[in-house]
Structure 1
Amino acid sequence: MNSYLFFLGQNSLLSQAELASLIPEAKLTTPHQSIIKLDSPTSLDLPSLGCRLGGTVKIAVLKQTSSAKQLQDDLVKLLLDQQAKNFSLNLLESTNQESYELSNEVKQRLVDNQLRTRFIAPTSTGISPVIITKQKAVELTIDSDFNIYQTTWVHSFKSWINRDRRKPFVTPKSGMLPPKLARIMVNLAVGDKDPGGLTLLDPFCGTGTILMEAALQGIKVIGSDLSADKVAGTKTNLDWLDENQACAPLKPATVFQANATNLKDQLVDQIDLIVTEPTLGPASPSQDKLSDIAHGLQKLYLGALKHWALFLKPQARVVIALPIFHGQNRSYTTADFIDARENLGYNTLRNDLIFTRPGAQIERQIVVLEKQ
């Protein structure tokens, strides 16, 4: 059995759902609220897997199993073997003081062995990918059973920042879907299938964030939007992505202007997946209008899902981000209409995934559907 620790992003439930979707045969446990332990019968290709993930920032591999008596000796040997100039020790389920004392003792033994080194104090989930990358730090994580894991993969933080902040076309009036959330949504739709053989549609493509994250995985992407400006902007962003971010040329994308409830006749390819964030309504809705806004959006979403059922393949997945509005006295969940419509033509796989930010009046509920 191969054992790994996945250090998750800000939304651990979404990150865990992404892992379970991509590696359904793996056993997942939670030694920490922001860390997933994954046991797999086969060895994982971490560079390939890591580059697909949106909700994981670091991955550590089990190096060896130690004991309370042997732990310090084993840590010293591991660090000496790698001539670690910078290191960090993270003891799960231990206090910061215990980690600090162990790190000091290990450092002194390394110095006694003629290795000039320094330790970097961790948080509860270790040190950041930025520190690991820039300072070439060796990070070791020790769980309650004295298993020693070493971080071997960290996410490409520069690439994520570039796609989030430096793409040429943005519009503050749209939902500003974060690229990491877009990637997670794509992975919830793809599951354990080969992404290179799939075609994905985003019928509310906006600035193209979902299409960009899907295209980077080798998926053929199709986008549409009611706004001609957004169609043009999405094309600009995809061209920028191809020139600046892609390791290999992207597959040709199709982007056109259309109403999301009436685009069947403009589609040439069969659609395997729909991943989308439709319009979420006003950015700052009036409290006394929330009920009307939610009801109006539900009518739009219902019409769209009915239309999409006309051209989706059987068992095709739809992953859609729907708003939850929080008023002073109650909340309005726009996804409620799905379960109330038995003849809609979809099975609900998940509706328990929520993405939110502190102080936000609108939350996103990520719903995963499967075409019957």
Structure 2
Amino acid sequence: MNCFAGLCSSQDEQDASQKNMAINKDLKRYRKSFENQLRLLLLGAGESGKSTIVKQMRVIYSTGFSTKEREQMKKPIYSNICNSIKTMIEFIEQADIPLEDSQLIEDTEWMTNNVAEDGSVTAENSEFFDRAERLWHSDVIQEAYRRANEYQLLDSTKYFFDDIERIRKLDYLPSDQDMLQARIITTGIFETKFIVKGATFHMFDVGGQRSERRKWIQCFADVTGIIYIVATSAYNQYLREDTSQNRLVESLELFTSIWKNRWLSQVSVVLFLNKCDLLKEKIEVSDMGDYFDDYDGGCDYENAKGFIRSKFLAIGIATETRRLYPHFTIATDTANIKRVFTDVKDIILHFHLAEFGLV
């Protein structure tokens, strides 16, 4: 009987060993599956640079942009240029900035009367480009550009106008940088898939305007991590949808609501303090202290960066299961985003595996 019991015991041990091996095999496969499927949600206020980050992922980790996509982007780029020049002309009129040159008067009147709101021009519209280029180099338009924080002007304005000779050519095909600089308002939810060192990322870009934010909740399920994007250069600007609300204040308030959201309480957050190149230009001529009473760093770029960073860190207080990881970024700088995203991938992956006890 004891021998029979021993045989049973041996058989039980063998069965247990096989089950254990099967469990370990499943766990290994489970771990590999989770390691290789990462869902990232891009959040932030409008015009913070979310869509540019998505485009960078395609440039860095995927096949980039096809010739067809570049051709299709020509119209939005021309529209951006039209929008910028018309917006600056409208500001000149509203601010009562005098046009003393008869040629400038003629050019502004022509733009007002002949350029549609949708900016439907092509490279064949040589008269438009002649007048736009002449206006851009005028003192009055340059003054309007310097005062861009007083109204709504695209961040890409200077980039496109400084290179308008190339853009207006009949054989023009947008470069990678043109594609990154082009502004198209995001409405709805867009998914981009790409692979980084064996890990598959599903990145979701959601419109940041207030009217779009109600759609965010649809993306919260099974989120691996959040990248929250802030336009640091927007400290002296106001929302398109609410001209009484400072854009940086809006970003801080929005971040507070995300950090405190109970559905996201276990989700790691990476903070992209974006548009640092524009911040560096602005801080030299526009004192942040005029917009934030607790700022006393003057026109120093590093002081300005540190101040904005501290504002968000004060909200995103670390817990046992969650931390905020800030990075200073320039979304249009491919090398910068590639370097930063290498760190982001490691951070997100670590927390993702830790959530399931796999590290």
TM-score band (shorter)? under 0.3
Larger Rg: 2
Considering fraction of residues, name the structure with more helix: 2
Higher RCO (CA < 8 A, seq sep 6+): 2
Q: Please, what TM-score do these two structures have when normalized by structure 1?
A: 0.21
Q: Please, what TM-score do these two structures have when normalized by structure 2?
A: 0.22
